[in-house]
């Protein structure tokens, strides 16, 4: 039975123009699909929507959470009458907009304290201001140079709806004709999320451009010994377009983490194009373009497929992450490496036939003045000699490498896990600067919502429990600065006295305005207690929330009443646990998947485990480097273990396959190791360096989380090369004592 690669080779050789037309149509179709790509931010990127925690957060958000947009107003004197009248007109226009429930500012405060009208003189303004409580005044007018207007949105708005509101507000502000010297900026959490989405789109374009430029430089320098040296760059660009197209047609949203997948794909995808191009060039030296295409597809196609599948195993392991953005990174990477492999396998041999490919020069005849080939040959000899030395001192070298790896694994638990979204984004992003200014002005805006559910949350027993629990936390928890609920609202409208019966509760509720009640309870079955907290680091907040949950259990809510902590703060602190547990599980699963794949391919446990052992050490080295450099674990660096396994496995597999090929030719174990490293050393070094250049593009990102990820991935690829050239020969020497076979699997020819 003919293999699929022989069938593909037949089609390419007989109809190369048809194949190229098919690839071109595929890319054109994909280009249309790229217009459907969407950016996603917010809780959906951090929390699986099907989990109870996400459902509770969604229910709270849709029922109670009314997000606010802020107008940051700056002038020489914000209490100037002309400025106040301008703000009154502006807020009147804003109040008529859809999805806006109201506004609150110094203007509304002055009108409230002046019988519903704005004061007519500066003396009246100052007199009224003097009667405003100091705490309230400091929030709305921290100085005469700055004031903040709070615009309240309807609960449960999607980010798209918030973006529509923001766009309308920006248009209104732009057309509002403010007095000279008055500057108005729309800010707040929705504006922060909107600008972060825009910044993500810009960052993605920048990263891809930088990665492609670096690829051109890398390929131009390391790949100069072949004709059409820049062809792999075009191939990987086509693979990237195909990836974009599939994501667009699938309506799959791009997150902050998934952005980094594209430079990663460029770095890995160029590897497939370089290897297929190299093999075609090698075959073209001794046969016609048609025969070179046939041999390249049928011999290199399967082995590069094995390498691609082993890389994919590392990315597939990310799918088990409870954090959607990490799982999404894995999905994008799997789609991407498959697309890059497919385009390289079809396009390069087809182009070779159509262009009647001729090798640039024959290595046996010199290099026509080009010194790069001689340099490569000298490098081959050097790494071959190094492998010989390593083979003769295998055990001591392995012990040293293993000890460093173990130290790295021990240090891994000491690395901080950072889930603070503010530290992920560009620190000079205008929305972040404005939001920080609001926080400094209005104080901490952190809150901890506690969701209360039962058959009747306004029963006197439940009201009493809520009020007493609030009082206990306010007096015993130093992190709590205050609280609000339907219980405290009832007490406030009852002259500070807690009612003693349900009829009293009903009578008091009848006197409370509907818009106030709706903030704290809904349909008699749902209520929320909003605890205000001081600003805390995530780890401190996590400990506080854990204690909070225990205190809820200890306080014994009434029978039939469930009480749960929710909110964005709870989500981000829980993310620390998810990352800590998830990164270990993903790494272990990646090892298991790659070992299983190799066992399926080789049918030999020794061969299957041999390429995996160096990777274990590399993962440990990564942990040590992150600890030494002070790089935190984030939703991105949490993928490092699986990514390392996927990238490094290709290099170690190539070395091992060539070793068994040389051994099958009758060489001794040490000579086979030396020859394998000598023949493969240049190929994986060029491949590794082009991958490094692709990953290095991440360093240009304005998102700190992405640039830090770029730094550690560049180091990881360097470690992968060390693992293949230094550790792998030593591992082969030791493991060959347990293996008595010498054949590679059928079709798995060396690249």
Tokens of 450: 């506690």
Q: CA-CA distances (angstroms) from residue 180 to 63, 174, 555?
A: 41, 14, 57
Scanning the structure block, which residue is given the tokens 């969604």?
A: 58
Starting at the edge strand found earlier in the chain, the sheet holding 183-187 runs 100-104, 146-153, 68-74, 183-187
Q: Tell me the C-alpha distance between 328 and 257, whole Å.
A: 8
C-beta of residue 447 within 8 angstroms of C-beta of residue 567: yes
Q: Where are the domains of the chain?
A: 4-42+195-421+574-738, 67-154+157-187, 439-573
Q: Which helix (H) or strand (E) holds 265?
A: helix 261-284
CATH number listed for the domain at residues 4-42+195-421+574-738 = 1.20.1640.10
pLDDT, residue 343, reads 95
Task: Tell me, yes or no, if the two domains 4-42+195-421+574-738 and 67-154+157-187 fold the same way.
Answer: no
577 Rama class: left (phi>0) / alpha (psi -120 to 50) / beta: alpha
Distance of CA 301 to the CA centre of its chain: 32
Distances (CA, A) of 596 to 53, 599, 646, 669, 734: 34, 5, 13, 26, 21
Q: State pTM to two decimals.
A: 0.71
Instruction: Give the strand pairing for 562-565 and 447-453.
Output: antiparallel
What is the predicted pLDDT for the residue at 543?
83
How high is the mean pLDDT in each 10-residue block of the chain (751 residues)?
Answer: 87 93 94 82 70 79 74 85 89 87 83 83 82 69 79 78 87 88 84 74 75 80 79 90 90 73 78 85 88 90 85 88 83 91 94 88 47 60 82 89 92 83 68 67 67 90 92 88 88 88 90 81 87 79 86 89 85 79 87 90 87 90 90 83 82 82 82 80 74 78 79 87 87 80 43 39
Q: Which stretches within 175-259 are classed as H helix?
A: 189-222, 231-249, 256-259
Distance CA 329, CA 344 (A): 22
The tokens for 528 are 């929320």
Q: What is the CATH number of domain 67-154+157-187?
A: 3.30.70
Structure tokens of 72?
């940051």
DSSP 68-110: EEEEEEE-S-TT-HHHHHHHHHHHHHHHTSTTEEEEESHHHHH
Helix (H) or strand (E) holding 468: helix 460-476
């Amino acid at each position: 039975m003919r293999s699929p690669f022989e069938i593909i080779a037949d089609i390419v050789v007989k109809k190369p123009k048809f194949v190229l037309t098919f690839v071109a149509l595929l890319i054109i179709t994909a280009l249309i699909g790229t217009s459907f790509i969407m950016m996603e931010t917010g809780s959906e990127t951090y929390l699986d929507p099907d989990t109870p925690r996400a459902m509770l957060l969604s229910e709270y958000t849709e029922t109670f959470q009314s997000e606010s947009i802020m107008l940051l107003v700056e002038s020489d004197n914000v209490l100037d009458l002309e400025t106040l009248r301008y703000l009154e007109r502006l807020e009147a226009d804003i109040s008529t907009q859809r999805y806006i429930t109201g506004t609150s500012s110094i203007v509304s405060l002055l009108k409230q304290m002046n019988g519903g009208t704005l004061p007519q003189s500066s003396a009246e303004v100052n007199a009224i201001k003097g009667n405003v409580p100091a705490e309230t005044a400091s929030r709305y007018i921290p100085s005469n140079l700055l004031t903040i207007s709070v615009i309240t949105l309807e609960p449960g708005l999607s980010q798209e709806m918030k973006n529509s509101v923001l766009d309308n507000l920006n248009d209104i502000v732009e057309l509002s004709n403010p007095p000279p010297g008055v500057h108005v900026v729309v800010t707040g959490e929705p504006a922060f999320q909107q600008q972060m989405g825009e910044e993500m789109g810009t960052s993605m374009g920048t990263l891809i451009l930088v990665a492609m430029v670096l690829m051109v430089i890398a390929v131009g320098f390391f790949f100069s010994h072949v004709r059409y040296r820049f062809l792999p760059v075009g191939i990987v660009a086509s693979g990237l377009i195909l990836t974009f197209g599939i994501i667009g047609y699938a309506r799959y949203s791009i997150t902050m983490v998934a952005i980094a997948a594209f430079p990663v794909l460029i770095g890995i995808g160029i590897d497939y194009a370089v290897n297929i191009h190299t093999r075609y060039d090698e075959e073209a030296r001794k046969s016609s373009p048609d025969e070179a295409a046939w041999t390249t597809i049928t011999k290199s196609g399967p082995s590069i497929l094995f390498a691609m599948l082993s890389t994919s195993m590392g990315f597939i392991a990310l799918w088990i992450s409870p954090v959607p953005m990490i799982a999404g990174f894995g999905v994008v990477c799997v789609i991407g490496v498959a697309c890059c492999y497919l385009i390289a396998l079809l396009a390069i041999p087809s182009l070779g036939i159509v262009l009647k490919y001729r090798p640039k020069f024959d290595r046996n005849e010199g290099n026509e003045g080009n010194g790069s080939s001689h340099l490569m040959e000298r490098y081959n000899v050097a790494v071959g000699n190094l492998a010989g030395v390593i083979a003769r001192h295998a055990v001591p070298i392995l012990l040293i490498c293993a000890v460093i790896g173990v130290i790295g694994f021990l240090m891994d638990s000491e690395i901080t896990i950072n889930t603070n979204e503010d530290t992920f984004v560009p620190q000079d992003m205008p929305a972040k600067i404005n939001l920080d200014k609001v926080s400094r002005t209005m104080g901490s805006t952190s809150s901890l919502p506690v969701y209360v559910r039962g058959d009747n949350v306004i029963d006197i027993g439940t009201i009493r429990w809520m009020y007493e629990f609030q009082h206990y936390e306010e007096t015993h928890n130093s992190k709590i600065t205050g609280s609000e609920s339907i219980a405290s609202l009832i007490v406030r409208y009852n002259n500070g006295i807690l009612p003693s019966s349900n009829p009293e509760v009903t009578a008091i509720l009848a006197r409370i305005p509907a818009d106030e009640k709706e903030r704290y309870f809904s349909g008699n079955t749902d209520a929320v207690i909003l605890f205000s907290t001081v600003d805390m680091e995530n780890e401190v907040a996590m400990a506080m929330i854990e204690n909070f949950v225990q205190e809820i259990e200890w306080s014994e809510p009434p029978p039939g009443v469930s009480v749960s902590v929710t909110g964005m703060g709870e989500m981000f602190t829980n993310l620390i646990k998810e990352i800590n547990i998830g990164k270990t599980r993903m790494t272990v699963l990646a090892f298991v998947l790659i070992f299983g794949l190799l066992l399926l391919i080789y049918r030999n446990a020794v061969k299957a485990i041999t390429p995996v052992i160096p990777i274990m050490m590399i993962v440990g080295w990564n942990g040590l480097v992150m600890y030494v450099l002070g790089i935190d674990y984030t939703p991105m660096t949490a993928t490092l273990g699986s990514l390392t396994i996927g990238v490094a496995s290709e290099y170690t597999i190539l070395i091992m396959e060539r070793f068994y090929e040389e051994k099958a030719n009758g060489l001794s174990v040490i000579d086979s190791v030396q020859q394998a490293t000598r023949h493969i050393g240049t190929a994986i070094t060029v491949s590794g360096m082009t991958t490094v250049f692709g990953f290095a593009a991440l360093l240009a990102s304005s998102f700190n989380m992405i640039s830090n990820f770029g730094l550690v991935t560049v180091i990881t690829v360097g470690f992968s090369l060390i693992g293949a050239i230094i550790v792998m020969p030593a591992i082969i020497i030791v493991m060959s004592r347990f293996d008595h076979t010498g054949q590679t699997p059928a079709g798995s020819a060396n690249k």
